[in-house]
């Protein structure tokens, strides 16, 4: 059941992307022969008035097949006959739909669950096996001081910032935590552990957060702002992925995504929404990478065509996209293999 939910969730993300291409093409008069969700052998075919709709076996993508995209056509509605700006609109619409989906999901999340307002110096949860649990810290404890630093009179967010800084800067040395529990003051001794992955010291607990529910228009404005912030972070991560030597170790394929979606679904609708936001923005950004067979590769060729004033030879463009597709499939196999080993 978890796998089915995960596949359905991932398919919706892909479908939104492809529907973006499809609707944009129709709006500028380009004819779509087929709209497919998934790749590989066809499982289901639904004939439309003109366009054929398909569901295919492998949930690793999807596509819209346009008349005249891979071969010459004299039909005035063919992709190759459309003006460059119309084809650019059609190509960009897919990633744009993913970005707009993220804004919609963030808006729904804000209106339903509220948005972050401030951290509170109160323990929300304690991670099993970490120093906080070993020292006897409990959910609901309010931290009054760490070491020789009193935070009880500070504003909530400032107190949390001071506590985090103290834990990290103190290193591995033991220190005393004074806290309030059910109206009583407790004195506990803790010994931080070192988190190699994040290069910091930690106790292993989460702070409680205060949320607030914005109005509808405010929620939309905040959602756009958060989406652009996330795009910036993902572009920075993409740059690190390409230039830091991380390679495929930093990527996750369909198997990994299904696993993560399943975990988020078990954790609750809010976690599932949050993961969906990250996935849909990633789909949009990654598709704009100027690589053959991706939207970014097609966009690059269209920009070159616009500057040259004439299209690239269709056989060369087809070969360019074929090489890109083969490389993407090889990458997908490698990433999927690593996903299977990891999970």
Cα–Cα distance, 173 to 99 (Å, whole number): 46
Helices (H), 71-182: 84-113, 131-135, 156-170
* Model pLDDT for residues 123-156, shown as the tens digit of each residue: 999 999 999 999 999 999 999 999 999 999 998 8
Q: What is the DSSP string of 222-266?
A: HHHHHHHHHHHHHHHHHHHHHHSS-GGGG---HHHHHHHHHHHHH
Domains recognised in the chain with CATH numbers: 2-112+248-342 (no CATH), 115-212 (2.30.42.10)
Among 18, 33, 34, 180, the active-site one is 18
Does the annotation mark 18 as catalytic? yes
Q: Are 248 and 334 in contact (CB under 8 A)?
A: yes
Least confident of 4-8, 76-80, 301-305: 4-8
* Model pLDDT for residues 8-43, shown as the tens digit of each residue: 777 788 889 989 999 999 999 999 999 998 878 888
* Model pLDDT for residues 75-111, shown as the tens digit of each residue: 999 998 899 999 999 999 999 999 999 999 999 999 9
* Model pLDDT for residues 176-190, shown as the tens digit of each residue: 999 999 999 999 999
């Amino acid at each position: 059941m978890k796998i089915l939910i995960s596949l359905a969730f991932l398919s919706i993300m892909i479908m939104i992307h492809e529907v973006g291409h499809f609707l944009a093409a129709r709006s500028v008069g380009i004819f779509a022969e087929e709209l497919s969700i998934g790749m590989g052998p066809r499982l289901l075919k639904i004939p439309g008035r003109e366009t054929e709709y398909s569901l295919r076996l492998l949930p690793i993508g999807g596509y819209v097949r346009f008349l005249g995209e891979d071969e010459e056509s004299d039909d005035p509605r063919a992709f190759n006959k459309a003006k460059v700006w119309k084809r650019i609109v059609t190509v960009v619409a897919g990633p744009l739909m993913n970005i707009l989906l993220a804004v919609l999901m963030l808006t729904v999340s804000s209106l339903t669950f509220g948005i972050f307002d401030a951290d509170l110096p109160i323990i929300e949860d304690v991670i099993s096996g970490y120093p906080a649990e070993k020292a006897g810290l409990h959910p609901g404890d309010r931290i009054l001081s760490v070491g020789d630093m009193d935070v009880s009179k500070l504003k909530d967010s400032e107190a949390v910032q001071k506590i985090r800084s103290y834990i990290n800067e103190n290193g591995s040395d033991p220190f005393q935590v004074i806290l309030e529990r059910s109206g009583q003051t407790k004195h506990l001794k803790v010994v931080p552990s070192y988190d190699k992955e994040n290069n910091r010291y930690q106790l292993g607990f989460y702070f409680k957060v205060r949320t607030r529910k914005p109005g509808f228009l405010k929620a939309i404005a905040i959602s756009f702002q958060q989406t652009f912030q996330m795009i910036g972070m993902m572009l920075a991560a993409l740059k690190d992925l390409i230039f830091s030597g991380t390679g495929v170790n930093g990527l996750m394929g369909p198997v990994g995504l299904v696993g993560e979606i399943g975990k988020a679904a078990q954790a609750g609708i809010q976690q599932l929404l949050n993961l969906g936001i990250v996935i849909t923005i990633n789909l949009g950004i990654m598709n704009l990478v100027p690589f053959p067979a991706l939207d970014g590769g097609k966009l690059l060729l269209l920009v070159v065509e616009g500057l040259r004033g004439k299209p690239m030879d269709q056989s060369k463009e087809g070969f360019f996209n074929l090489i890109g597709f083969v490389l993407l499939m090889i990458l997908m196999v490698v990433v999927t293999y690593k996903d299977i080993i990891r999970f």
